[in-house]
Structure formats: structure tokens, C-alpha cells
A and B are shown apart, each in its own frame.
Chain A
Amino acid sequence: KNQVEQSPQSLIILEGKNCTLQCNYTVSPFSNLRWYKQDTGRGPVSLTIMTFSENTKSNGRYTATLDADTKQSSLHITASQLSDSASYICVVHLTGANNLFFGTGTRLTVIP
């Protein structure tokens, strides 16, 4: 069964600290993996997209890694800011089909 699981479900960190969010997937065959940031009551916004052959991709303070062998991805946030408080969603695209598999997200709260 194609699934995308994210951990932790929620996370609270102090402003300025780093954190890492995890995504494990069983989707196969795999085309690409995306990380989105969703502010409360808003639509998701893309942070990174990685294909099978990419191991890491950065977008400012956000760095995503991908291990296609173990089917794991992580999103590392450096020097967190209050505006990083949001849900972070991992999405995996199934090759050759119009199918995206969404994780349930990690709710990150950054406190001063």
C-alpha cells in the first residue's frame, strides 16, 4: 500500500534553534518528493522538490534530504524564526500516474 508517514506529529522549539522533520514513504515507483509549508488557514506553498537522483536541496534556511534506498526524507530548518510556525507536508509523486501521496504533516511551533 502506498503511504507517506511523517514524524513527529507536532514539535515545539525555541526561536533560533534548529530542527529536523522526518518523512518515510512506501510509494513505488517513486518519481519525486516535495516538501510544502502550510500556514494555518492558507494553501500549501512549495519549499523543495527532489527527484530520485537528488540527495539534497536547499531553499534558504530549509534543507531537504532524500535517501531513495531507505525511502526516507528529512527537512532541516536552521535558525528557526517565529514565521516558521506552520504545518510541513511531505508529498510523494507516483511515477507515470497523476497520483500524489500526502503525509498528514508535522505541526511546528516556534516560540520566543
Chain B
Amino acid sequence: SQTIHQWPATLVQPVGSPLSLECTVEGTSNPNLYWYRQAAGRGLQLLFYSVGIGQISSEVPQNLSASRPQDRQFILSSKKLLLSDSGFYLCAWSGEGIGEQYFGPGTRLTVT
């Protein structure tokens, strides 16, 4: 069966510090991968998606970047965090096309 992992579960970082969140998927190959952010009281916002290794599409201009160094690994990064980067970050995967999406457990990021 397929599983999706995210870490860390929670993170508190000062403004201006770097960020690296990791997402890995097991039990499937060549998944579509997604990074979402959910601000308090807001809906999910798609940040990045990837249909293959090294292929990243950005949905909104921002302080963040994403990379996919391996087929089942998706990384969300920032060189310098802003207060507005605080939120709940979710990684998701789907099969071919844009079928059912399966979400990871999420990372709660607080920028202080």
C-alpha cells in the first residue's frame, strides 16, 4: 500500500532563517506531487506541483521554492523565512492525471 510521510511535524523558526521540509512517498512510482499551504482559517492553497523528477510548476510567486531530486521525494525550501510563511504545509500525491489526491500528515510551521 502507498504511504506518504512528511517531516518535521512541527517547526518554529526565526524570521530570516532557512527552511527545508521533506515529503516522501512509498509504494508507488512516478507520482504527481504537490505542496499546499493552509493558513489559519483559510482554504488550501496550492504552492507547487511536480509531474516528474526535476519538473516543478509554481502556482503563486512567493518566498518559497520546491525541488524533486528523486522520484518519490519532494522538498519545500526557503532561503529566508518571512512571518507570512507561517502556516500548515501539506504534501500530497496522486496517480497519473489529477485523480484522487492523498495527503500527508502536514507540518506546522511557526515563524517568529
Show the binding face of A for B, using Cβ within 8 Å.
4, 34, 41-46, 49, 89, 91, 93, 98-100, 102-105
Contact = CB atoms under 8 A, between A and B. Distances in A.
A44 B93 CA distance: 12
Contacts, number: 42
Contacts of B106: 41-43
Contact of B43 (A34, A98, A102): A102
B105 A43 contact: yes
A43 B49 contact: no
Interface of B: 32, 41-46, 49, 51, 57, 88, 90, 92, 98, 100-106, 108
Given A44-B44, A46-B101, 17 more contacts: A4-B43, A41-B88, A43-B92, A43-B106, A44-B90, A46-B100, A46-B102, A89-B43, A91-B44, A98-B32, A98-B51, A98-B98, A99-B46, A102-B43, A102-B44, A102-B45, A104-B43
Given A43-B90, A102-B44, A104-B41, A49 B105 contact: no
B105 A42 contact: yes
A89 B108 contact: no
Contacts of B104: 43
Nearest to A105: B43
29 contacts: A4-B43, A41-B88, A41-B108, A42-B105, A42-B106, A43-B90, A43-B92, A43-B103, A43-B104, A43-B105, A43-B106, A44-B90, A44-B103, A46-B100, A46-B101, A49-B100, A89-B43, A89-B44, A93-B98, A98-B51, A98-B57, A99-B46, A100-B46, A100-B98, A100-B101, A102-B44, A102-B45, A103-B43, A104-B41
Which of A89, A98, A99, A104 lies at the interface centre, i.e. has the most chain B CB atoms within 10 A of its CB? A98
